[in-house]
Amino acid sequence: MEEKPSNASRRSLVHHDSNKSLLQGDIRNLWTTATLSELNVNLPLSHVSECSDLEGRRSSYLKGSVDTDNVDWEWDGGLRESLPGDDSSQQELDERTLMELELHRSHSLGSVPEGGDDDDSRIKAERSSSSLNVFKQTPHRAYWAEQQNRLPLPLVGLMENEVLEILTKTLESYRSGIGRNHFLTKQLRRSIEGLKKRRNKMLQVSVN
C-alpha cells in the first residue's frame, strides 16, 4: 500500500517547486516555454493524452495531482514573486518550469481525473517525461529556425525580399545580355524560384 501524502504537503511541494523554478529561471524563458506548450492546445484531447502518455502513465500522474485552483494560485503567486528579483543568470530552459507549465496546461484542458494516489518520485518521473514530450511533440518551426540561424526573422525576411528584388533585376539583365537559355540565366532563375519558395514557406509558418 502506498502512503497518501496530505493535501497540505502536496501544496507545499508544488509551491516550493514552482518558486524555486521561477526564481532560478529568466522570466523570458517562461514566456518561451508557454509559447511552446500552447501549441498543443488546439489538439484533440485523445491525441494530447496519447502524446503525453506513451506508456499509459499519464493518468496515474494526473491522479496524483492536487486541486487545480490551488495549483494555479500557487503558480501565479510564484510568478508575481519572481518578477522584481528576476535572476537572469540562468539562460537554459528550466525543466521544472516546463513541468509546471505542462501541468497547468493539462489542467486547463480539463483532462484531469480527480482522486488517486502516487508517490513523489513517480510524479517527478512522469513530469520529466511529459516535459520531454513537449520538446518532441511541439517543435515550433519558426522558433527553431530562428534559433538555428541566430538571425532575427524580420531581418532575414528583409534580407530575402531585398535580394529577391536585386536578383529579379539581374535576371532581366542576364536575359537581355546573354540570353534566356544561357546556363547562368537558368541558374539565376532557379535561385530566384528557390528564394521565393523559401519566403512563401516562412510566410506560411508565420501565419500558422
Partner 1 sequence: MKLKQGSFLWYLYLDKIYCLLSVRNVRALMEYFHLLDVHHKNTLNDVVFFHFLNHVTNLTRPQIMMIFDMLDWNAMGEIGFDQFYMLVCILLSHQNHLEQQFIYRHSRPVFELLDLDGDLRIDLENFQLYSFLFNIKKQELNEIYQNFDFTGDHRLNYKEFKLFTIFNVDKYQKRQKAEKEKEEKFLLKSKVSQQSDVFTKKEHCLEKKI
Minimum CB–partner distance for residue 169 and partner 1 (Å): 5
Contact status: 188 vs partner 1 (CB under 8 A): yes
Minimum CB–partner distance for residue 127 and partner 1 (Å): 37
Question: What one-letter code names the amino acid at 71?
Answer: V
Minimum CB–partner distance for residue 131 and partner 1 (Å): 31
Minimum CB–partner distance for residue 107 and partner 1 (Å): 41
Contact status: 7 vs partner 1 (CB under 8 A): no
Q: CB-based contacts of 206: which residues, under 8 Å, 6+ apart?
A: 142, 153
86 vs 162, beta carbon nearer partner 1: 162
Contact status: 153 vs partner 1 (CB under 8 A): no
Question: What one-letter code names the amino acid at 203?
Answer: L
In the chain, % helix, strand, coil (3-state, to 5) comes to: 75, 0, 25
Q: Which of 160, 199, 202, 205 binds partner 1 (CB under 8 A)?
A: 160
**DSSP conformation letters of 76-100:** HHHHHHHTTT--TTB-SPPHHHHHH
167 vs 202, beta carbon nearer partner 1: 167
Question: What one-letter code names the amino acid at 20?
Answer: K
Q: Which residues of 147-167 are buried (b: 16+ CB within 10 A; e: fewer)?
A: eeeeeeeeebeeeeeeebeeb
Minimum CB–partner distance for residue 85 and partner 1 (Å): 30
Task: List interacting residues with partner 1 (CB under 8 A).
Answer: 149-151, 155-156, 158-160, 162-163, 165-167, 169-170, 173-174, 177, 184, 187-188, 191-192, 195
